[in-house]
Structure 1
Amino acid sequence: MKPLNRYAYLVLLAVVALLVGADYRWRLFERVDAQAGDVLTRATVHARAPSPDIVIVNIDQTSLEQLNDEAGSWPWPRAIHAELVSAIAAQQPKAIVFDLLFNEADTFRADSDALLRDTIAATPGVYMPTVLLGDGQGAKLADLPASLGLIRTPQAQPDARAPLLLPLVLAPASWHGGLINFDHDRDGIGRHYLLYATRDGWRIPAMPATLARDFGWPHPDRTRMRLNWTPRHATVSYADIYLDAGRETPQRPKNEFTGKIVLIGTAAPGLMDLRPTPLSKTWPGIEILATAIDNLEHGNWLRDAPRPWFAALAITIAALLAVGFQLGINSLWLGVSMAAISVIGAGAMWLAQGRLWFLPLAMPLVWGWVYYALAALVAYVKERARREATVRLFGRFLDPRVVGQLVAGGAIDSAPAAREVTVLFSDIRGFTSLSETRQPEEVVALLNRYFSRQVAVVFRHGGTLDKFIGDAIMAFWGAPVDDADHARHAVAAALDMGRELEAFRAELALDGIDFDIGIGVHTGRAVVGFIGADDRLDYTAIGDTVNLASRIEGQTKGVARVLVSQATRDACGDRYHFDDRGEHHVKGRAEGTRLYEPRLIEEKR
């Protein structure tokens, strides 16, 4: 086997390892881990309960319809929001968090803006949102009010700017809050929430980070966190709160907002605050904010495991598969093992998420399957090449159709080994006379035709052609394929070769020429397999059994066309009738060898 073929699985492992390194360096296939996490999230989300401390006041479609007469079409006069804040604040909530922007003044209803400005200024615990735009110059961060909670790091540039949408309708002292930017991954799905944005050494906090700081909640010291999704939080309609002005009704308990974090936002489809998340392509933005706040309040956001560990895991899985393929383990069993590893990996992801860890196991598993598929393809190509080479090789000795079946079933054993076989030698009598009356080219053509017919007989009876020795043929039965009836098949072939000779002579009109064959058959143990030098191997049989078969063929002249040994006669049982042709002394043996002429039962005389 060539070195490249010998180490093909290791070379493939090196290629996959490089691809894994590129993947985890540039996050080329990060989406696979993300989408696997999405599937797991949807499957387990109902096992987690939303925080009872968070209530959403939703500007839903009902609110838009019920307040149409009083507030008109959207956007409503800011006085409406001012009255809602007063109604909620009367119940002493923990915080009132707006998910609505107030960055532009209402030039037609200045008094309405003033009412909201004064109400927010007089109400503690109100948080107002800001948004960081993707482009633009914006205001100098050093000039913004302290209420925004900007953090100046040692690397902060004094002239740094950021394009922020600020709540300019309100007094600067009321700008306390944070960013509510939708933080999506490269595939557009929101799986994280922004905690801080950075600009030239300045950190701009997001709304959840500001709440965590104010209430002393632990939070990750990073720019974003992976959300641990829950079902929807408790929600009441904006119109119900506004129209009831905080009065107790049968549908709502008294002081329903006391001690709660109240989020004011919209899930109405027409107001376009719906975002793609693992749970839905149209998940309300207010719910995303609620989930982030919920996670920080309870410290149950998902922690990201170090990705290099999983790059190493991907290479380890591929390496184990490489060892398996290199050892010749069946591809099916390796596939079953890979499936078991995948099931274990999925279970590990599920258990880890319950313990607040996000394990990016999907990509190691995908890379394992990639390696398995490529290695299985290499194994298939190598096996097919091996089979084709074996078919070509054994096609010299066996019927190619039989070889194809045997190779497909893996039944051929070519390693040299001692086996019980039956050996046949066939030699032409009178070939010299025939050669003297014809041209050499014609003689060769006749000999080739004769050999073709006789080899067809050998193959027809399941024999293995060993070699041509001048005008002689050597064949054997019982290898490379086990054959319990190898003696019977060899004798049948010998008799059939005689009949084939008669047909050949009749075809050539050789009745007047002494052209005959002698066939000797013997059964015994011989070493069979590929024997020879590294660059020249022949599949052959060697040993005393072969020698005796050749000697028996030499005794046929003047006795019988076919002679077999006592061992062959005994191995054939009662399939044939055997005429005893006496004891013969053959070269190399001190004792005589009893020989028999086989006949079909119906030919018995």
Structure 2
Amino acid sequence: MKSFNLKWAYLLFIIFIAVYIITYFFNNPWIEIFELKTLDLRYRIRGEKQITPEVLVIAIDEKSLTKMSTEFNDEWPWNREHYARMLIKLFENDTKAVGFDVSFTTPSESNVVNGKSRDDALLAAMFRKFNNVVLGSYLTVEKDNYSDYNEEYKAFLKNNYYYNNYSIKIKNPEYLSIFQSLEAYKIIPPIREFSSLVPSSTYEIGELDPDGVARRIPLLFKETWSYEEGISTGFFPHMDLMLYALYKGYDLNNIVLDPKNYILELENEKIKIDKNGTYLLNYYGEGKNMFDTISFYDFVYGNDYEDYDFEDKIVILGYSATAKGLYDLRVTPFSNNEPGVYIHATAVENLINEDRLYRLNFFYSTLILLLLLTISLIFSSFKKIKVKLFSFAIPVSYIFISYFLFKNNIWIDTFYPVITSLIIPSVDTGQAILKESREKKQIKSFFFKYVPDFVAEKLLKEGKTELGGERKEVVLLMSDIVGFTEKSEKLGPEKVVQFLNYYLSEMAVIIRNKYYGTIDKFIGDLIMAIFGAPIEFGDEVDRAISCAIDMRKKLKEINIELKNQGFDFEINSGIGVHYGEVVIGNIGADFRMDYTCIGDTVNTTSRIESLTRSLDEWLIVSEEIVKRSKKYNFEYIGDHKVKGKEKPLKLYRVKEGDLDDA
């Protein structure tokens, strides 16, 4: 069974490793989904992480929408004059940079004079004056969708090429084939009156994780159109990366991608990205609790924030959760309705504080899985269940290590290693427990037939259930009815069985229950009992002699009962007792085992018992018994030659005074 259990453990080991590798290379999401949920659980256990944010959110919220409607009769989308006022106030308060998580892809339709909007002209003037601004925009992902645009609009977009000034330079371009960034056919930039003055890029969150949660953001994307047109490399920085670059004072025209090493270079700084160009976010908590948030209306037209310190802050304008009809909500580890503006705020804050979350790559994750499963296999090789139970400490310890590393911004895969390192010991320990339970039931059933109840219980309690072969010194007692063969020939089969069952039962009670002997076997009317195995008490010699004396006394009661049952004879028995070494244990075939002993001591005891007839003694003991008895006195009978022994045996009887009228 041990070999069988280990085979299953090795098979599970191979299956678990194979499944992990296959799901990775075939991009099967089922393991990843559960792993992502364990990451979210770690976020929830950690709770919100208090920070002093460098990013501020100005919210287009329900209050602002209502106030702009009632006080300015300005329904969404608003007159762009309001954004100009916002920029003036922000930069007058020494704001470092401003990002717009709203788009200006079409000219304003308000205050139009001679085909030009005065609002656009005013906002453009502010961009010319305050150019630390990044305008967000959206992407047309599919080429077919772009093809559906009319030619006039395509020409409009083609002439709006200023965003290409910020295309990313490429180092090691031969590795671009293995780089799989967010890709779209065409960015729809802000109107050229704006994009010609300030940088613009996409504000897209990018592809969500398999469970629909936003946990990462693309720091760059690829535009197929500009690459096909030969205008630029086709790679552009994300709005959040641009805001960070402005915060640090980096040159936006000199951002470099190294696809070989998955690195974005901003002057002397290197930012690690994954093969998809994404940046794993380290969420601090629910956005509204982490970042100072000011209502757009309150900031632009109120006085509540005159004393607020805007100096060197990054400000992002975006929709709040209460902006009805302007849906920009995402699921994050802390919220099911997180406004996108807070995801951008988190990304920029992570970049500023170098506070990103690092995930251990597939290679090291596989090594960890191999290590955990190997340790589980090692514990599975142990036989004792108590040792096997220690294997459950492996996944528990790993969970604590995983959480500790997470708090230090390192994400190691937890779900699959924990589950698999639990399954192996669970299966192995479960099989071991069932096996032990079955064995205990079998052994208990076996013991209770041959040894006293309390001896069986003691052996089971102490776990001494492995009755394999061993050499052991014991006392053997053999008893045989004198002349039983002749007597049985006069009886029918039913009477013989009736007699033997009665006689053997009475003797067994004395041996098992009174003197704690182990009944080795019944052979017809012969009884063989062992004292000193499977458990020792230290007084085996004297117990065996006392047992023999009580068996003799019981014989008188049996003869009376036989007469009452109609038997017309009395019985007499001879008993031989000897001490010596035997080989003892479970002996037999798989389908039938007996706890018995073999060896010269058994043969010698049988010879001694057979001498009771010729010497006319009912009890004969060997010299080995005499030497070890502390309770009884003996009389020497003489030296007697027995079969199988070169030297004669010195044999003894118990003195009459010690027999107590036996």
| TM-score under structure 1 length normalisation | 0.81
Matched, 1:178 2:178: no
What secondary structure, in the 3-state scheme, does the structure 1 residue paired with 2:117 have?
Answer: helix
Q: Which segment is superposed worse, 376-385 or 392-401? A: 392-401
What secondary structure, in the 3-state scheme, does the structure 1 residue paired with 2:332 have?
Answer: coil
Q: Return closer, same or farther for 1:260/1:49 CA change in 2, 3 Å cut-off.
A: same
Q: 1:207 aligns with which of 226, 239, 263?
A: 239
Q: Return closer, same or farther for 1:24/1:139 CA change in 2, 3 Å cut-off.
A: closer
Partner of 1:518: 574
Q: Which amino acid aligns with 2:480?
A: D
CA distance in 1, matches of 2:445, 2:606: 28
Partner of 2:299: 241
**Deviation of 1:377 (Å):** 1.7
CA distance in 2, matches of 1:74, 1:442: 113
Q: Which segment is superposed worse, 513-522 or 531-540? A: 531-540
CA distance in 1, matches of 2:556, 2:104: 111
- 1:20/1:314 contact within 8 Å kept: no
Partner of 2:18: 18
What secondary structure, in the 3-state scheme, does the structure 1 residue paired with 2:512 have?
Answer: helix
Q: Which amino acid aligns with 1:278?
A: P
Partner of 1:325: 380
CA distance in 2, matches of 1:113, 1:546: 120
**Deviation of 1:48 (Å):** 6.2
Partner of 1:138: 145
Partner of 2:261: none
Q: Return closer, same or farther for 1:598/1:567 CA change in 2, 3 Å cut-off.
A: farther
Number of aligned residue pairs: 590
1:40-59 Cα shifts (integer Å, max 9, x gaps): 4455576663443x222223
CA distance in 2, matches of 1:250, 1:264: 16
**Deviation of 1:444 (Å):** 4.6
Q: Which amino acid aligns with 2:512?
A: F
Q: Return closer, same or farther for 1:533/1:366 CA change in 2, 3 Å cut-off.
A: closer
Q: Which runs of 5+ in 2 are unaligned?
A: 148-153, 228-233, 252-265
**Deviation of 1:151 (Å):** 5.8
**Deviation of 1:445 (Å):** 5.5
Q: Which amino acid aligns with 2:201?
A: G
1:357-386 Cα shifts (integer Å, max 9, x gaps): 332245323322222222222322333344
Partner of 1:98: 100
What secondary structure, in the 3-state scheme, does the structure 1 residue paired with 2:136 have?
Answer: strand
1:233-281 Cα shifts (integer Å, max 9, x gaps): 333332332114xx7x78524xx44543211123343545443322333
CA distance in 1, matches of 2:372, 2:446: 37
- 1:94/1:125 contact within 8 Å kept: yes
Q: 1:85 aligns with which of 87, 93, 113?
A: 87
Q: Return closer, same or farther for 1:280/1:103 CA change in 2, 3 Å cut-off.
A: same
Matched, 1:594 2:595: no
Q: Which amino acid aligns with 1:75?
A: W
**Deviation of 1:494 (Å):** 3.2
- 1:435/1:443 contact within 8 Å kept: yes
Partner of 1:193: 217
Paired residues for 1:213-232 under 5 Å: 215-216=250-251, 217=266, 218-221=270-273, 222-230=276-284, 232=290
Q: 1:265 aligns with which of 318, 341, 347?
A: 318
What secondary structure, in the 3-state scheme, does the structure 2 residue paired with 1:269 have?
Answer: coil
- 1:151/1:204 contact within 8 Å kept: yes
**Deviation of 1:309 (Å):** 1.8
- 1:33/1:363 contact within 8 Å kept: yes
**Deviation of 1:77 (Å):** 2.4
Q: Return closer, same or farther for 1:213/1:471 CA change in 2, 3 Å cut-off.
A: same
Matched, 1:480 2:534: yes
- 2:469/2:586 contact within 8 Å kept: yes
Q: Which segment is superposed worse, 115-124 or 335-344? A: 335-344
What secondary structure, in the 3-state scheme, does the structure 2 residue paired with 1:138 have?
Answer: helix
Q: Return closer, same or farther for 1:114/1:495 CA change in 2, 3 Å cut-off.
A: farther
**Deviation of 1:326 (Å):** 1.2
**Deviation of 1:78 (Å):** 2.6
**Deviation of 1:208 (Å):** 1.6
Q: Which segment is superposed worse, 185-194 or 509-518? A: 509-518
CA distance in 2, matches of 1:521, 1:434: 25
Matched, 1:379 2:432: yes
CA distance in 2, matches of 1:336, 1:523: 44
| TM-score under structure 2 length normalisation | 0.75
Matched, 1:540 2:596: yes
Q: Return closer, same or farther for 1:555/1:168 CA change in 2, 3 Å cut-off.
A: same
Q: 1:114 aligns with which of 97, 105, 117?
A: 117
- 2:477/2:544 contact within 8 Å kept: yes
Partner of 2:150: none
- 2:162/2:192 contact within 8 Å kept: no
CA distance in 2, matches of 1:87, 1:120: 13
Partner of 1:339: 393
What secondary structure, in the 3-state scheme, does the structure 2 residue paired with 1:316 have?
Answer: helix
Partner of 1:528: 584
Q: Which amino acid aligns with 1:528?
A: I
Q: Which segment is superposed worse, 304-313 or 381-390? A: 381-390
Q: Which amino acid aligns with 1:276?
A: V
1:47-86 Cα shifts (integer Å, max 9, x gaps): 663443x222223455456555314586362343343234
CA distance in 2, matches of 1:464, 1:370: 43
Partner of 1:549: 605
Partner of 2:151: none
What secondary structure, in the 3-state scheme, does the structure 1 residue paired with 2:537 have?
Answer: coil
What secondary structure, in the 3-state scheme, does the structure 1 residue paired with 2:480 have?
Answer: strand
CA distance in 1, matches of 2:477, 2:435: 36
1:124-149 Cα shifts (integer Å, max 9, x gaps): 33323233478894326995533444
CA distance in 1, matches of 2:111, 2:505: 109
Paired residues for 1:149-168 under 5 Å: 149=164, 162=185, 167=190
Q: Which amino acid aligns with 2:216?
A: H
What secondary structure, in the 3-state scheme, does the structure 1 residue paired with 2:98 have?
Answer: strand
CA distance in 2, matches of 1:347, 1:270: 42
CA distance in 2, matches of 1:242, 1:515: 120
Q: Which segment is superposed worse, 96-105 or 112-121? A: 112-121
Partner of 1:433: 486
